[in-house]
């Protein structure tokens, strides 16, 4: 039986001149950029892209069948990264966590499906070979390719510049808008000189330039990612002034309800930060 393809995909392929049945990651990424499809359409195409998708053994078991889980994790992690109150070292660790998720998530999710040894052993030449296989989404704040770009910026800065430059990058948040970071040239191509792609980040923000993190530290990063996936939405940053906000027809949340939701979200963020801080010792 032939599987039905989404109408938007068929129409786009006919305009571009691409065979609709020949789905590959490069064409799918182009489709995501140009056609702005829904998450459901992208998920369906990714399932067709990799019907024999490896299990991705390091990805949280409860989310292996959820093709939107990688995007959800990146979006939630980005919310914390964008919060002005996030400590700069925690922000660096979050960027590394999102990059780790891209390495470990199933290919049908937009990741690479690596196991733990494959992620820890990945070198710049290997990253160059597989980078084009990383998924792209219409939303920059949930885009695996953009999360990858941001972490490569960090380790490239660490390799070629001073610790002060790394600290400045840790304080920086992503620009708000519709532009995808991964479409820009790499700002710090010195990441090609790194020994590994997943170094430790100590409590002062020093990044180990000579070896990958310990396997136990990688397990902690995976645990933190699973916690972020299973928990409530992280607390967003300060909202615009009330006068600048559009009126909403929905039920207005009481101050007590809002405080309770934000408290739970803050508790989740604190738990994620504690996990990454406690086990991120390198060796």
Angle at 151 (CA atoms; ends 93, 82), nearest 5 degrees: 65
What was the pLDDT predicted at 176? 77
Number of domains in the chain: 1
Examine residue 159 and state whether it is found in any structural domain, yes or no: yes
pLDDT of residue 99: 98
Measured CA to CA, the distance from residue 177 to residue 57 in angstroms comes to 34
For residues 62-91, average pLDDT: 93
Give me the pLDDT at residue 83, please.
92
Spatial distance between the Cα atoms of 134 and 182, rounded to a whole number of angstroms: 11
Of 88, 93, 108, 79, the residue nearest 274 (C-alpha): 93
Average pLDDT of the residues in 92-109? 95
Residue 155 has pLDDT above 90, yes or no: yes
Asked whether residue 270 is assigned to any structural domain, the reply reads no
Query: What pLDDT does residue 277 have?
Result: 78
pLDDT band at 27, cuts 50/70/90? confident
- Cα torsion for 185, 190, 191, 196, to the nearest 10°? 170
Using alpha carbons only, give the angle 50, 54, 57 rounded to the nearest 5 degrees: 145
| Lowest-confidence region among 140-149, 187-196, 239-248, 260-269 | 239-248
pLDDT band at 70 (very low <50, low <70, confident <90, very high): very high
Quick one: angle between helices 255-279 and 215-230, nearest 10? Answer: 170
* Percent of the chain whose predicted confidence (pLDDT) is above 70: 85
Q: Is residue 11 part of a domain?
A: no
Residue 271 lies in a domain: no
Residues 154, 201, 124, 215, Cα dihedral to 10°: -150
Q: How confident is the model at residue 226 (pLDDT cuts 50, 70, 90)?
A: very high
Mean pLDDT of the region 33-38:
85
Confidence of residue 243 (pLDDT cuts 50, 70, 90): very low
Residue 257 has a pLDDT of 52
- Average pLDDT across the chain, whole number: 84
More confident position, 42 or 106: 106
Percent of the chain's residues with pLDDT above 90? 47
Q: How far apart (Å, rounded) are the C-alpha atoms in residues 136 and 146?
A: 8
**pLDDT bracket for residue 262 (50, 70, 90):** low
Please give the pLDDT value at position 10: 87
31 within domain boundaries: yes
Identify the residue with better confidence: 175 or 230: 230
Question: Residue 50 pLDDT more than 80?
Answer: no
Does some domain include residue 104?
A: yes
Rounded-to-integer distance, Cα 139 and Cα 51, Å = 25
Rounded (5°) CA angle 234-240-242: 115
pLDDT attached to residue 101: 97
In a domain, 110, yes or no: yes
Two tokens, residue 201? 């980040």
Residue 80 confidence (pLDDT):
94
Q: With a cut of 60, say whether residue 130 has pLDDT above it.
A: yes
Whether this prediction's pTM lies above 0.85 is answered by no
User: Which one has a higher pLDDT value, 25 or 134?
Assistant: 134
Residue numbers of the domain that contains 31 = 19-216
Average pLDDT over residues 17-33: 81
Task: Report yes or no on 246 lying in a domain.
Answer: no
pLDDT of res. 92: 95
| Measured CA angle at 264 (ends 260, 267), to 5 deg | 135
């Amino acid at each position: 039986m032939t599987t039905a393809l989404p109408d938007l995909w068929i129409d786009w392929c006919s305009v571009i001149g691409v065979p609709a049945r020949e789905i590959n990651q490069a064409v799918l990424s182009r489709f995501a950029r140009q056609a702005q499809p829904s998450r459901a359409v992208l998920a369906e195409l990714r399932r067709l892209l990799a019907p024999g998708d490896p299990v991705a053994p390091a990805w949280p078991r409860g989310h292996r069948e959820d093709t939107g889980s990688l995007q959800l994790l990146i979006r939630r992690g980005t919310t914390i990264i964008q919060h002005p109150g996030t400590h700069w070292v925690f922000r660096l660790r979050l960027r590394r966590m999102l990059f780790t998720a891209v390495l470990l998530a199933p290919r049908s999710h937009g990741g690479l499906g690596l196991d733990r040894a494959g992620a820890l052993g990945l070198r710049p030449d290997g990253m160059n070979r597989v980078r084009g296989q990383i998924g792209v989404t219409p939303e920059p704040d949930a885009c695996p390719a953009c999360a990858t770009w941001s972490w490569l910026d960090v380790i490239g800065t660490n390799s070629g510049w001073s610790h002060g430059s790394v600290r400045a990058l840790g304080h920086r948040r992503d620009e708000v808008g519709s532009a995808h970071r991964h479409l820009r040239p790499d700002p710090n191509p010195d990441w090609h000189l790194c020994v590994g792609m997943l170094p430790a980040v100590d409590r002062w923000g020093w990044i180990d330039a000579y070896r990958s993190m310990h396997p136990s530290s990688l397990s902690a990063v995976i645990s933190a990612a699973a916690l972020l996936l299973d928990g409530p939405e992280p607390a967003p940053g300060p909202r615009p002034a009330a006068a600048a906000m559009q009126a909403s027809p929905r039920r207005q949340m009481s101050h007590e309800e809002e405080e309770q939701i934000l408290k739970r979200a803050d508790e989740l963020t604190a738990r994620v930060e504690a996990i990454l801080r406690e086990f991120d010792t390198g060796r």
